[in-house]
Amino acid sequence: MEASTTTKGEATSNKVLVRANEIEKTYGSSFPFTRSVTVLTDADLEIRTGEIVGIVGANGSGKSTLMNILVGVLEQDSGTVERTGTVGWCPQEPLLYDRLTVGETFRLFGSGYGMTAEEIDEAKHRLASKLDFEQYLDYRIDQLSGGNRQKINLSIALMHDPDILMLDEPYTGFDWETYLTFWDLAEELAADGTAVTMISHLIEEQSRLDRIYEVRDGQVYDVTDQEGETDATASERGEETDE
Amino acid sequence: MAGLPSMPTVEAIPIELGRLLGAIFGVAIIAGLMGLAQMISARAADRRLVQTGYPPRTLLATRLAALGGVTVVVAAVNYGVLWLTISPGAPVLTFVFLVLAGLVYAFLGALVGALLPRLFEGSLVVVFLAMMDAFLSGDSPLAADVPEFVEYFPLYHPKELLQEAMFQGTYTTGDLGFVAGYLLVLLVLVTAVFGVTMRTSGGWSA
C-alpha cells in the first residue's frame, strides 16, 4: 500500500472528476421469450483527481459494463454520470484498425482528440520510447504481437494526456518489464493529478491502488479499507464466499 | 419429350440480355457485400474513434468514398468481361449505369451492415436480396406476371438504364431520376442509422 495513506488523504480533498449516481443497466432483447440480464442496480461511485482506483469483481459481475458506462460508450438505463475533464479509454480488447500502421493509428486518433501534428508526433515518440515499441512504428497493427498491440491500445488512451484514464485490464499480454513500466507510468500520472481507474484482477495489485471499488450483486461497494481480500478476489480463485 | 412442360419463352431470352443481367448481378452482389463488410469490420474501433471526438459524418464519408472506389473497380472488371462478348451501344453510359447499379447495392449493403452488424446473417440478407432482385427485375420469363411493385426493387431501374444504353445507346431520364432518388434515400438512411449506432453518452472534451 505504498503512498496509499497520503494519497488517500489528499484524494478526499481533491476534485471529483467522475460521479456516477444510481446507475442501472440490464441487457435485454426485443425478442419475446429471451432472457434479460440485470448487471447493475443502483450503482454509485466517485473518482477524484490523483487517485489510482481499482474496480474489482467476479467474472460477469459487471465491471466492464460499469466502465463502458463511465466512459460513455454504453448508455445506462437510468442514473447519471457526470464527467469533468478529458477522458482516455483503454478497452479490454484493442479496438484499433488492423490495416493502419502504428504511426497512422496515432495520427487518426490524435486528430480525433484535436491534437496538432507536432503534438501527435511528440506523444507517439514519448510513448513509444516509454513502452518500448519504437521499432514497430511503421508496422501495421495486424502485424503486431498481442502484447505490442496492447501497448498501442494503451498509448492511444494516453496520448492526449487525459484528466481521467479508464483502463480495462490494460496490461493483458505485457511482459514483466512492460508491466512494471506501466505501473510506474500510472503512478506518475496520478502524481500529476490524473485520475487513473482500472479494472484489476490481480490480488497483488490491490496494494498499489488508492481506492478499490468492488462490483457485486449489481452494486458498487467501496472496499478500500477492508482488511484482506474482497469477495471478488476470493471467488475468482473458486472459493466460497458469504455474501 | 411430350411429357416435359412447354416453356417456349425460355428459348427467346436473348443471350446478350442474360450476359447483361449477369454483369449487373455480379456488380450488385460484390458491391453489396463490400458495403456490408465496410460497416461491420471496424464497428467497435469506429465507436472508439468517434468517442475521441472524430466527426462521425467524416468517418462515414470516408467509408462511403472507399466503397465508391471499390464499386468502380468491380464495375470496371464486370464491364470488361461484358465488353468481350457484347459491343455496347453507348460504352460510357453502359459503364456509368453499371457503376450506379453497384452503388445502389453498396449503399444497401452498408445499410444492412449498420442495422444488422453480423457478417454471416448480413451476408445472407444481401445475397438473397440481390438474387431475388436480379430474378424479378430481370425480365426473366420465369418471373413473368410479377407484381408491379417490382419496379421499386433496387436493380429494376438500373437494369432498365443499362439495357437501354447497351442495346439502343440511349437512356430514359425517368429511370435515371429514380436511381438518383434511390441512392439519395439510401444515403440518408445509412447516415441516420450510422449516426445512431455511433451515438455516445457524452463527449470527452473538457
Nearest C-alpha in A relative to B50? A112
User: By three-state DSSP, how is residue B88 classified?
Assistant: coil
User: Which residue in A has a C-alpha nearest to residue B202's C-alpha?
Assistant: A72
Nearest beta carbon to residue B44 from set A76, A86, A95: A95
Q: What pLDDT is stored for residue A12 in this prediction? A: 43
pLDDT at residue A33, rounded to an integer = 74
Q: Exposed e or buried b for every residue in B155-179, given b needs 16+ CB within 10 A? A: bbbbbbbbbbbbbeeebeeebbebb
Q: What residues of chain A score a pLDDT lower than 50?
A: 1-12, 233-234, 236-243
More confident residue, B139 or A28: A28
Q: Which residue has the higher pLDDT, B161 or A11?
A: B161
Q: Percentages helix, strand, coil for chain A, rounded to the nearest 5? A: 40, 25, 35
Give residue B4's pLDDT band: very low, low, confident or very high (50, 70, 90). Answer: very low
pLDDT at A146 (0 to 100): 92
Task: Tell whether ipTM is more than 0.90.
Answer: no
Residue B6 at interface with chain A, using a CB cutoff of 8 Å: no
pTM: 0.81
Task: Report the candidate in B198, B186, B197, B189 with the shortest Cα–Cα distance to residue B31.
Answer: B186
Q: Is A53 in contact with A47 (CB distance < 8 Å)?
A: yes
| pLDDT above 60 for B3 | no
CA nearest to A91 within chain B: B48
Q: Which positions ≥6 away from A71 have C-beta within 8 Å?
A: A87, A89, A166, B51
Cβ pair A219, A20 in contact under 8 A:
no
CB A230 within 8 A of CB A223: yes
Q: Distance between CA B170 and CA B166 in Å, rounded? A: 8
Mean pLDDT, to the nearest integer, of B95-109? 95
Please list every residue in chain A whose beta carbon sits closer than 8 Å to the beta carbon of residue B44: 91, 93, 95
Run of H or E including B103: helix B91-115
Q: Would you call A162 and B202 a contact, using CB atoms and an 8 Å cutoff?
A: no
Contact residues, chain B, for A69 at CB < 8 Å? 201
Mark which residues 23-42 of B lie under 8 Å from A by CB.
42
Please, what is the average pLDDT of chain B? 86
Task: Identify whether the C-beta of residue A159 lies closer than 8 Å to the C-beta of residue A123.
Answer: yes
Best B38, B204, B205 member to test A by mutation, with max A CBs in 10 Å, is B204
Say which residue, B170 or B144, is predicted with more confidence: B170
* Cβ <8 Å between B204 and A114: no
Q: Are strands A211-216 and A219-222 parallel, antiparallel or unpaired?
A: antiparallel
* Nearest alpha-carbon partner for B97 in B154, B41, B161: B161
Take residue B202 and report the three cell numbers written for it.
Answer: 457524452
At residue B143, the pLDDT reads 58
Q: Burial, A203: exposed, middle or buried (Cβ in 10 Å; 0-12, 13-18, 19+)?
A: middle
Angle at A49 between CA A43 and CA A55, to 5 degrees: 40
Supply the pLDDT for residue B148.
78
Residue B146's nearest CA partner among B160, B132, B163 is B132
Q: Do A162 and B204 touch (CB under 8 A)?
A: yes
